[in-house]
Amino acid sequence: MKKSNRLCLVLGDQLSFDLASLQGLNKNRDTILLVEVMEEASHVPHHPQKIILIFSAMRHFAEALRQQGFQVQYVTLDDPKNSGTVKGELQRWQALTHSDEIHITECGDWRLEHALKDCGLAIQWHPDSRFLCTRTEFSDWAKGKKQLRMEFFYREMRRKSGLLLNGDGSPVGGAWNFDADNRKALPKGVIPPSPARFKPDAITQDVLALVAEHFSSHYGSFDTFDYPVTHADAQALWEYFLDWGLAAFGDYQDAMASDEPFLFHARISAALNIGLLDLRQLCRGVESAYWAHRIPLNAAEGFIRQLIGWREYVRGVYWLKMPDYAGGNLFGNNRPLPAFYWTGNTQMKCMSQAIGQSLKHAYAHHIQRLMVTGNFALLAGITPTQICDWYLAIYMDAFDWVELPNTLGMVMHADGGYLGSKPYCASGQYIKRMSDYCRTCVYKVSESTTDDACPFNSLYWHFLMRHADLLRSNQRLGMVYKNLDRMTEPKQQALWNRGQELLARLDAGESL
């Protein structure tokens, strides 16, 4: 009897040797397929460095699999026979290899998974075991709950993983969460480590040339690419962070500083999301550093919370709520994304810093994404799909399952508060407290209604006034509305007028 032969499609964010669909392959009969396709690289104008990372890491991974004795077919972007879509390449290679079984690990993107499920081939799907929580486990946990809370989900994940627990199952340090100890601004004289850099090798140089040829119209720099593209280099990036970044991560997780794009952040999200690093190994590394007294508890707990709390939680929400989730627009926003999001040409120092470094490095850390570029989009009423597409395009770590809930849910509150209990709206005072940006900004953070007043201040109150019908009843905003009500009517009117003026300038296509 003829033995069946498998075709195993590995996507660009599935570059893990222990990927479920790669297990049990026969090195003589089965084929692993990796494809570089135009549709995935351009359905939004992805940052060139993101395309470089994924194509180069795919080529390195294919090479490593070949060295392990697997049969690998690799389709480059400029292959004349390349159909341009994952679905087209899967159909073409199924016919070429006469495979009678197709194996794929579940996708990170609803759009792609849906397209593959619709391609007319019988596919054997494998769960993505690189995550701690399966899609089904999450939906079981969410069942019957009107509103979800990350904090309760996170406790479940701590119990499931056993991370930072005492022998009796209680949390180390007597609390599950040390968030309140993660909010220091950066004091003068504290110097963050210089970022670990990885020089492009010959494979990456080839990809750089390919991307320069095909994607020069996409926004973002090419020549600053210094990111790891192999498992070994990603591990070196992680170890560098363990040695130099993690101890201070806890204190300065929310801090922002001029011309310091990385501070004490790990920069590992892109490597983790495409499979060059392993979630469980990262968590064990952090826990060991804590037990070895190398890092304080607020750093260990804070980092583990991001990984097994927020990261798993947003993925769970994505798969529970897609595809309707992507269309959420609670506030009915319809303002186009201002052009300066693509250039950084704005006088607002905080925005020009966050956007500028995103264009240069395809990176901004969490608080810049949430409280600067995201906060501005929320206050200015930007159309959710447009700001979501911007985040998906601009960040090296952006994949639909993680970008969409963070942007549409956490930042824009467009899902009606399903992911987060209140919008993260803030005035310029928050940015002043957490950064040095305001010191050298042309706008005055102490002013709200004058011509040179910080735009965030009036837009903040304008946002609260124009959505009072939806937000006033939110208990977590009770104090804020009390403050608004205490203002004199002329003060409220002046804030409204300044907000109107700024929004009209955005509508006229002006930068601020």
Binding site for ligand SF4 (CB under 6 A): 348-350, 428, 431-432, 437-438, 441, 443, 445, 454-456
Residue carrying structure tokens 């911007």: 390
Please give the helix or strand (H or E) that residue 31 lies within, else none: strand 31-35
Segment near ligand FAD (CB under 6 A), from 85-93, 263-271, 433-441, 445-453? 263-271
Among 60, 130, 231, 265, binds ligand FAD (CB under 6 A): 265
3-class state of residue 8 by DSSP: strand
Q: Which of 403, 428, 458, 464 binds ligand FAD (CB under 6 A)?
A: 403
Q: What 8-state DSSP symbol labels residue 449?
A: S
Token pair belonging to 234: 């990603």
Nearer to ligand FAD, 97 or 435 (CB): 435
CB of 280 to ligand FAD, least distance (A): 13
Please give the distance of CA 511 from its chain centroid, rounded to a whole number.
Answer: 26
Question: How crowded is residue 366: how many other Cβ atoms within 10 Å of its Cβ?
Answer: 16
Q: Does 311 bind ligand FAD (CB under 6 A)?
A: yes
Q: Which stretch binds ligand FAD (CB under 6 A): 183-191, 226-234, 329-337, 400-408?
A: 400-408
**Amino acid at site 363:** Y
Structure-token pair, residue 346: 């704005």
User: What is the DSSP pairing of strand 31-35 with strand 101-105?
Assistant: unpaired
| Residues between 207 and 246 with contacts to ligand FAD, criterion CB under 6 A | none
For residues 472 and 481, the answer to whether their CB atoms sit within 8 Å is yes
Check binding of 370 to ligand FAD (CB under 6 A). Answer: yes
> Applying CB under 6 A, which of residues 91, 306, 474, 511 lies at the interface with ligand FAD?
306
Judged by CB under 6 A, does residue 369 bind ligand FAD? yes
Q: How far is CA 103 from CA 10, 21, 490, in A?
A: 9, 6, 66
177: contact with ligand FAD by CB under 6 A: no
Least separation in angstroms between CB 421 and ligand FAD: 15
Least Cα distance to 457 among 512, 499, 500 occurs for 499
Tell me the Cα Rg of the chain. 24
3-state secondary structure 232-282: HHHHHHHHHHHHHCHHHHHHHCCCCCCCCCCCCCCCCHHHHHHCCCCHHHH
Residue count, binding to ligand FAD (CB under 6 A): 28
Other CB atoms closer than 10 Å to residue 134's CB: what's the count? 15
Residue 268 is a binding residue for ligand FAD (CB under 6 A): yes
Q: How far is the CB of 471 from ligand SF4 (least distance, A)?
A: 22
Distance CA(232)–CA(230), nearest Å, equals: 5
Closer CB to ligand SF4, residue 34 or residue 494? 494
How many CB atoms sit inside 10 A of residue 305's CB? 23
Binding test (CB under 6 A) with ligand FAD, winner from 55, 138, 153, 310: 310
Instruction: Work out which of 374, 417, 423, 428 binds ligand FAD, going by CB under 6 A.
Output: 374
Q: Which of 229/382 has CB closer to ligand SF4?
A: 382
CB of 40 to ligand SF4, least distance (A): 35
CB nearer ligand SF4, residue 263 or residue 295: 263
Region from 59-67, 121-129, 324-332, 407-415 binding ligand FAD, contact rule CB under 6 A: 407-415
For ligand FAD, the closer CB: 306 or 329: 306
402 lies in the binding site for ligand FAD (CB under 6 A): yes
- Which residue lies nearer to ligand SF4 by CB, 158 or 365? 365
Interacting residues of 301 by C-beta distance below 8 A, sequence separation 6+:
164, 172, 173, 177, 178, 250
Whichever of 266 and 494 has its CB closer to ligand FAD, that residue is: 266
Please pick, from the candidates 273, 346, 375, 427, the single residue that binds ligand FAD as defined by CB under 6 A: 273
- What does the DSSP 8-state code read for residue 179? G
398 vs 459 by CB, closer to ligand SF4: 459
| Alpha-carbon 110 to chain mean position | 16
Among 315, 294, 313, 295, smallest CA distance to 303 is for 295
Interface with ligand FAD (CB under 6 A)? 265-269, 272-273, 303, 306-307, 310-311, 314, 365-366, 369-370, 374, 391, 395, 397-398, 402-403, 406-407, 410-411
